[in-house]
Amino acid sequence: MADHPVDEKLPALKMATTGLQHVAAMYAGVVAPPLIVGAAIGLSATDLTFLTGACLFTAGLATFLQTLGVWKIGARLPFVNGVTFAGVAPMTAIVAATEDKSDALPVIFGAVIVAGLLGFLAAPVFCKAIRFFPPVVTGSVITLIGISLLPVAFGWAQGPNPAADDFGSATNLGLAGVTLLIVLLLRRFTRGFVKQIAVLLGLVAGTLIAIPFGVTDFGPVADADVIGFPTPFHFGAPQFQLAAILSMCVVMVVSMTESTADMLALGEIVDRPADEKTIAAGLRADTLGSAISPLFNGFMCSAFAQNIGLVAMTKIRSRYVVAAGGGFLVLMGLCPMAASLIAVVPRPVLGGAGVVLFGSVAASGIQTLVRAGLDKDNNVLIVAVSLAVGIVPITAPEFYHAFPETARIVLDSGISTGCVAAVLLNLVFNHLGRSGRDAHDVTHPMEAGEELTGTPKAATAP
pLDDT, one tens digit per residue, over 200-219 is: 788 889 989 999 988 887 77
166 belongs to a structural domain: no
**pLDDT of 302 strictly over 90:** no
Question: Where residue 114 falls among pLDDT bands split at 50, 70, 90?
Answer: very high
pLDDT at position 2 is 58
- Give the model's confidence band at 280: pLDDT under 50 very low, under 70 low, under 90 confident, else very high: very high
C-alpha–C-alpha distance, residues 448 and 415, integer Å: 32
The answer to whether residue 444 is domain-embedded is: no
Question: Strand 81-83 and strand 301-303: pairing?
Answer: antiparallel
Residue 459, pLDDT > 50, answer no
For residue 351, give every residue at least 6 positions away whose Cβ sits within 8 Å of its Cβ, in sequence order, or none: 153, 154, 155, 156, 157, 158, 176, 179
Taking each helix axis from N to C end, the angle separating 336-344 and 45-67, rounded to the nearest 10 degrees, works out to 120
User: How many separate domains does the chain show?
Assistant: 1
Is residue 458 situated within a structural domain?
Answer: no
Q: For residue 65, which of 116, 141, 9 has the smallest C-alpha distance? A: 116
The arithmetic mean of pLDDT across residues 161-172, rounded, is: 86
Percent share of the chain, pLDDT over 70: 87
- Residue 201, SS3 per DSSP: helix
Range with the lowest mean pLDDT among 19-23, 267-271, 381-385, 403-407? 403-407
Distance CA 199, CA 248 (A): 28
Q: Does residue 405 fall inside a structural domain?
A: yes
pLDDT (0 to 100) of residue 455: 41
Which is more confidently placed, 422 or 337? Answer: 422
**pLDDT score, position 405:** 67
With cut-offs at 50, 70 and 90, classify the pLDDT of residue 298.
very high
* Secondary structure letter of residue 460 according to DSSP: P
Dump pLDDT digits (tens) for 181-195: 998 999 889 887 677
Is 25 a domain residue? Answer: yes
Indicate whether 321 belongs to any domain.
yes
More confident residue, 101 or 198: 101
pLDDT in tens, 310-336: 677 667 788 998 899 899 899 888 887
- Mean pLDDT for 339-365 is 80
Residue 208 pLDDT: 92
- Model confidence over 346-358: pLDDT tens digits? 889 888 988 887 7
Query: What is the structure's pLDDT at 113?
Result: 96
361 compared with 63, residue with greater pLDDT: 63
* pLDDT for the residue 460: 38
pLDDT given for residue 377 in this prediction:
81
Looking at residue 305, its pLDDT comes to 66
Tell me, yes or no, whether 411 lies in a domain.
yes
At residue 435 the predicted structure's pLDDT band, cuts being 50, 70 and 90, is very low
Confidence of residue 448 (pLDDT cuts 50, 70, 90): very low
Q: Is residue 53 part of a domain?
A: yes
**CA 24 – CA 19 distance, rounded (Å):** 9
Provide the sign of the torsion angle of the four alpha carbons 332, 337, 340, 342, taken in this order: negative
CA atoms within 13 A on the CB side of 135: 16
Average predicted confidence (pLDDT) for the chain: 82
- Return all residues near 445 (Cβ < 8 A) that are at least 6 apart: 377, 380, 381, 384
Domain that holds residue 239: 5-149+217-344+364-432
Average pLDDT (134-155) is 83
By the 10 Å C-beta count (0-12 exposed, 13-18 middle, 19+ buried), 230 is classed as: buried
Phi, psi of 39 (to 5 degrees): -65, -40
